[in-house]
A and B are shown apart, each in its own frame.
Chain A
Amino acid sequence: MRTIKSTFLLFTFLLANVFAQSTDVTNEPGYVNFGDLTEFEKSTGVTEVILDEELLSVLAEISTEEDPNVMEILKGLKLVRANVFEVNENNKSELEAKVNNLDSKLMSSSWKRIVKTRSDDEIANIYIKQNNNKQIVGLVVTSVGDDDEAAFVNIVGTIDLATIGKLGKQFNIPHLDGVNHQKDKSDED
């Protein structure tokens, strides 16, 4: 009986490891479980993006020739997840509540909120997770916007915000140059 038990446990452990290879990313510190978003999937405009490590490495290989900056971002990534929903009268308050819930969850679990914007029409939050070496290993963006779109994005892996800044123009991402410039000015003052 003991033999069966120990070999069974060994088998289960090994098998779990084998299967665990494909779901390893959920154990990453930069991974966030957004919880149940199925109630928002009933609306018409729904986009779900899941790019795993394997696919991201294929994109990185292709991008080497086209754009080395994209390749640089891609090579350290393990997962890119995005859930985008159409915002309407029926779901706006629930989406905002979801954003606020996630905010509480992330703030209480060693994520750092680096951007929080809130107005009547829109909410946008950006969070980062750092490891012991101060490297960013996770990025989360939650937004409910005036463009009738709500988004939940989680990027897992080694993230270089500076490189994201360089890509700003290419994908309509701000370079953060404006902020640097303003900061210098305020220093002088």
Chain B
Amino acid sequence: MIITAKFDYLVKQHKKKIYNYALYMMKNQMDAEDVTQEVLIRTWQNINKFNFYAAKGWMMRTTHNLCIDYLRKHKKKNYSEVELVEDYRTEIADQDLESNPGKMADKIITDETIKSAIENLPEKIKSPFVLYELQEFKYKEISKILDIPLNTVRVNILRARKQLQKELKNYADERIK
């Protein structure tokens, strides 16, 4: 009973993080779903092997490792840009934007552009960036998840920020042209 409750709670707490991290890493929904499913099944199989405090880190570490394994085994071309646009449609809750289609279009492009730019970051700096900026993990947690030194986490996040800015600037320059 408590095991079921533990698993149920862990899934509810972390499934979104797992899925979204996998989406950024795998760059397509199908593979991200496969990874997510595998992580949750492994969590169930190992539910007694980790304590409550270690659960979050264990699940994300498993997600990251599975993503790396998948990427190594199945080297696919990035065919999913169109798919990404459909999947990553941003819901606009802001009424001001809804009444201003031009502004709305800009916002959609910006969100999707940024997501695409994040996806295109090199894996080494993308992982800590996604975990820190989007999943709100702390440096120490990221260090354990990715099994890299704390300072490397800080440096890679900084590099990712710079790289992202560079990509967006290139995109903006192209749009102006």
Contact = CB atoms under 8 A, between A and B. Distances in A.
Direct contact of A and B (CB under 8 A): yes
Interface of A: 1, 4-5
4 contacts: A1-B53, A4-B53, A5-B51, A5-B53
Interface in B22-69: 51, 53
Contacts of A1: 53
A5 B53 CA distance: 9
Nearest to A1: B53
Q: Which 4 A-B pairs have the closest CB atoms?
A: A1-B53, A4-B53, A5-B53, A5-B51
Contacts of B53: 1, 4-5
A68 B51 CA distance: 55
A40 B124 CA distance: 62
Interface residues of B, number: 2
A5 B51 CA distance: 10
A7 to B, nearest CB: 13
A159 B6 CA distance: 42
Contacts of A4: 53
A1 B51 CA distance: 12
Nearest to A4: B53
Nearest to B51: A5
B55 to A, nearest CB: 14
A111 B96 CA distance: 78
Interface string B53-89: 1000000000000000000000000000000000000
A126 B51 CA distance: 45
B53 to A, nearest CB: 7
A5 B54 CA distance: 12
A4 B53 CA distance: 10
A1 B52 CA distance: 12
A135 B53 CA distance: 48
Contacts of B51: 5
A1 B53 CA distance: 9
A105 to B, nearest CB: 23
A90 B53 CA distance: 51
A117 B135 CA distance: 69
Contacts of A5: 51, 53
B52 to A, nearest CB: 9
A166 to B, nearest CB: 44
A32 to B, nearest CB: 22
Nearest to B54: A1
A4 B51 CA distance: 12
B56 to A, nearest CB: 14
Interface in B79-138: none
